[in-house]
A and B are shown apart, each in its own frame.
Chain A
Amino acid sequence: MITLEHLHKAYGDKTVLEDVSLAFPAGQVTSLIGPNGAGKSTLLMCMARLLPASRGRILLDGQDIGRIAIADYARRVATLRQVLDFNLRLTVEDLVAFGRFPYSRGLLTADDHQVIDESLDFLGLQALRRAYLDELSGGQRQMAFLAMTIAQRTDLLLLDEPLNNLDMKHAVQIMQAIRRLCDEQGRTVILVVHDINFAANYSDHVVAMKQGAVHSHGPVAEVVTEANLRALFGLAFEILPSAQGFVCNYFNPSLSRELV
């Protein structure tokens, strides 16, 4: 389990994170939500050790992450950032094989090949394993990167906006895969999501950030309420329950005219 103690992050005199203390529940999916510039990605990058925190500590199972060798850390925490432009000529299989780098430093063992196979199976990518990444659609490429992250076989996965630029079908596929990672394999997933409906329907726990601080956090039912979301985003919300979960309508909620 990963915990944050009084985490601060500033660029010069611009504070991005201010006194963030949190404990992320193990074996659950936690979504980080909030407006742009709230510090969600920065928080995730600090946990991934891609950014040093200005003050405060991050503990992984009670151990300060700064004291863990980076090579060991990659066997305990896997990170996936947004895949922007990628022009390397690699096959899906090549990419997923990088997920085994923390274990075998590039010389794949039989064990590694099995894990790569399982990761491809898990996301239904077997048919594409020999396809080149630059010939895939954005959604397929994102799936391939997720497969690499899964192949790292870590207890904790940190995903920075994994749904960015994806169509609905791929977004649903990715979220279902994340759900299965947690339910079937007991892994902990922390992700930044912009679509409140994906956060509400696929995660166990939600952390809402605003202006560099934690606005509210807790189980989905506690955080995703009309009043709380309105305060968080400054936007009127209407939560519509349905048999399969619920939908947060912020496009044209019927209450909006009275509220504004």
Chain B
Amino acid sequence: MMRRAAWLLLPALVLAFLLLGSGLDFNYVIPKRLVRLGAIVVAGVCIALSSVIFQTLAGNRVLTPAIMGYEGIYLLFQAVLVLWLGTGSVARLGAQGNALLSMALMLGYSWLLQRWLLREGRGDVYRLLLLGLVLTMVLGTFTQFIQLKTSPGEFSILQSLGYTSFNRAQPAQVLYSGLLVAAVAVLVARGTRVLDVLALGRDQAIALGLDHGRCLRLQMALIAVLVAVSTSLVGPTAFMGVFVANIAYALARSARHQVTLPLACAVAIGMFLLAQLLVEHLFNYRTSVSILVNLVCGAYFLALMVRTRGTP
């Protein structure tokens, strides 16, 4: 019932987002909105898939890949760029160059992280988490330190990069990201049954005949791609993944990834659309998507917790 409502709500939100107050202007307004819609869909899928898979691997429902230092690396790189090349850095590199470099950096970071931790094939997720958490803090401090050296103009650019926004995305970047994410999504869809087994924990997964180390490495690589794409496209999303995943679990009433993954995608896209609609039409860009997403998700998540506690 709730699940069907969630699925029906999504097309309604898409239509509202595209048409509301557009005056049916197919030459300028709607194409612009289609680009933003593309960014929302791509980022939503990235966040939903990466968070649910990550929580499955970690066997923990309050984590997202965002705390693994990926977003920290992105923000630090942006700060370094602005410090070295000044506010003209965006023009010098081009939007594509910046996005590609950021992605390459995040993938490299993920590769190093795994290589260091998973040598000898020990699939120890908790050590990975500890390291990720500490690195996030260290990277954040470095970024702050660099920000001290920037001018007020540069600082405001950096600050805006720290928030989720769909207005930065260029059409070409949305297209490339969309293709990459579609390829990853196909791989994920093929492996939902393996994910179900991985959710039982390392020992049970091995007892059921999975090469646990190899599966873990593959899934971590997919997560890295997803996080890199979404961060370079729309900026950091911090804890949104926690909300999205948990709302999806509550709606799904099943731990099967075949159910939870698509549902999480729908929830993420719906949240983004709702937040963007409110930013554009109600608040007139006086607030940011990040703040609204956290507000909406947080309130809904709290309501859900209270309600599920109430029913025995």
Task: Mark A residues whose CB is within 8 Å of B.
Answer: 48-50, 70-75, 78-81, 87-90, 94, 98-99, 101-102, 105-107, 149, 152
Contacts and interface: CB of A to CB of B under 8 A. Distances in A.
A81 B253 contact: no
A50 B203 contact: yes
Interface string B56-93: 00000100000000000000000000000000000000
Contacts of A73: 209
A238 B199 CA distance: 46
B123 to A, nearest CB: 11
A48 B256 CA distance: 26
Contacts of B204: 81, 98
10 contacts: A48-B206, A71-B209, A79-B203, A90-B255, A94-B255, A98-B197, A105-B194, A106-B193, A106-B194, A107-B193
B207 A105 contact: no
Contacts, number: 65
Nearest to A135: B312
A16 B257 CA distance: 39
Contacts of B209: 70-75, 101-102
B249 interface: yes
Interface string B226-255: 000000000000000000000001001111
Contacts of A102: 208-209
Interface string B190-212: 00011011011011101111110
A50 B205 CA distance: 10
Given A89-B254, A90-B255, A81 B203 contact: yes
B254 A98 contact: no
Nearest to B212: A70
B246 to A, nearest CB: 12
Given A101-B208, A149-B207, 15 more contacts: A49-B206, A50-B202, A50-B206, A74-B207, A75-B209, A79-B206, A79-B207, A81-B207, A88-B199, A88-B255, A94-B255, A98-B196, A101-B193, A106-B194, A152-B208
A102 B202 CA distance: 15
Nearest to A90: B255
Contacts of B196: 98, 106
B208 A88 contact: no
Contacts of B252: 89
Interface of B: 61, 193-194, 196-197, 199-200, 202-204, 206-211, 249, 252-256
7 nearest A-B pairs in the assembled complex, by CB-CB distance: A74-B209, A106-B193, A79-B207, A102-B209, A88-B255, A71-B209, A101-B208
A78 B193 contact: no
A31 B61 CA distance: 37
B197 to A, nearest CB: 6
A199 to B, nearest CB: 23
Given A75-B209, A89-B255, A101 B197 contact: yes
A71 B193 CA distance: 15
Contact of B207 (A48, A87, A94): A48
Nearest to B209: A74
A78 B199 CA distance: 18
A99 B205 CA distance: 11
A105 B194 CA distance: 8
User: Which of B196, B204, B210 has the most A CB atoms < 10 Å from its CB?
Assistant: B204
A152 to B, nearest CB: 8
B194 A89 contact: no
A98 B193 CA distance: 10
A102 B199 CA distance: 16
B284 to A, nearest CB: 42
A98 B208 contact: yes
A44 to B, nearest CB: 11
Contacts of B208: 74, 98-99, 101-102, 152
Given A48-B207, A70-B211, A89 B253 contact: yes
B255 A70 contact: no
A45 to B, nearest CB: 8
A47 to B, nearest CB: 11
A72 B206 CA distance: 11
